[in-house]
Amino acid sequence: MARHSLKRFPMSTALAAALLTVVVGSALASGSSEVVLGSTVYAGSIGVGWGNQHPSEIFNGGDPSGLVTHIHWSSWGGRTASGHGLNAIFKPTGGYYSELVTIQLHAYHKGRCTAHGPMAYQRLSVREPSRPGGRVGPWESWSGSTTLCRFGF
């Protein structure tokens, strides 16, 4: 009788380990850890953060208003993602304010940028005040882009 129990134990342990591997592997493959922000090609070789999971910084090149730093994502991986960071904004008279402002980020339209690529948020809307300490303005498309999957704005 003891021999019979010992033979069943290794089989049930192996079965449990295999099942756990399948469940965890499936969860990771379809879970939020696979979602990225747009594509690495979006801003070309000068871009930062594009094609990455919950980036802490994004930059599309050009002037300082195309840089968002210290990004904190309060949600990621679901239908949409929300976060905020710091951004330079233009003065009405030209140039930039010396103080950075908080910019709100809303990533959405989840899909694939390429047939076999990772799931990606393909669009990004932002809003920020028009001056430091001012009221937050309306939501606008990041750099006027209709997609974060192709090069160009």
pLDDT at 24: 37
Instruction: Give yes or no for a contact between 44 and 151, defined as CB atoms under 8 angstroms apart.
Output: yes
pLDDT at 64: 95
pLDDT at 33: 54
* 56, 104: one domain: yes
Total domain count for the chain? Answer: 2
Give the chain's residues under pLDDT 50.
1-32
User: In the structure encoding, which two tokens stand for residue 26, read together?
Assistant: 């499936």
* 49, 114: one domain: yes
Residue 19: give the domain boundaries: 1-30
| pLDDT tens, position by position, 49-83 | 999 999 999 999 889 999 999 999 999 999 999 99
pLDDT at 152: 76
pLDDT at 62: 85
* 23, 80: one domain: no
* 49, 78: one domain: yes
* 42, 23: one domain: no
Three-state SS letters, 56-76: CCEECCCCHHHEEEEEEEEEC
Other CB atoms within 10 A of residue 59 CB: 17
* 87, 140: one domain: yes
pLDDT at 12: 42
CA angle centred on 76, ends 73 and 81, rounded to 5°: 80
